[in-house]
Structure 1
Amino acid sequence: MAARFIAQLVVMGSGLLIRAFAQAYRKALQTDASKTGAAQEAMQNTVRRASKAITEQEARQILGVTENAAWEDILKKYDILFERNAKQGSFYLQSKVHRAKECLEAVYQNKGQGPSTGSTG
Structure 2
Amino acid sequence: MAKYLAQIIVLGGQAIGRAFAKALKQEIAASQEAARRGGGGQQGEKRAEANARTGMTLEEAKQILNLDDLNDLERIVKNYEHLFSVNEKSKGGSFYLQSKVFRAKERIDQELKHQMDAARSKQNVTR
- The normalised TM-score by structure 2 is 0.46
Name the larger-Rg structure. 1
Give the number of the structure whose residues are more often helix, by fraction.
2
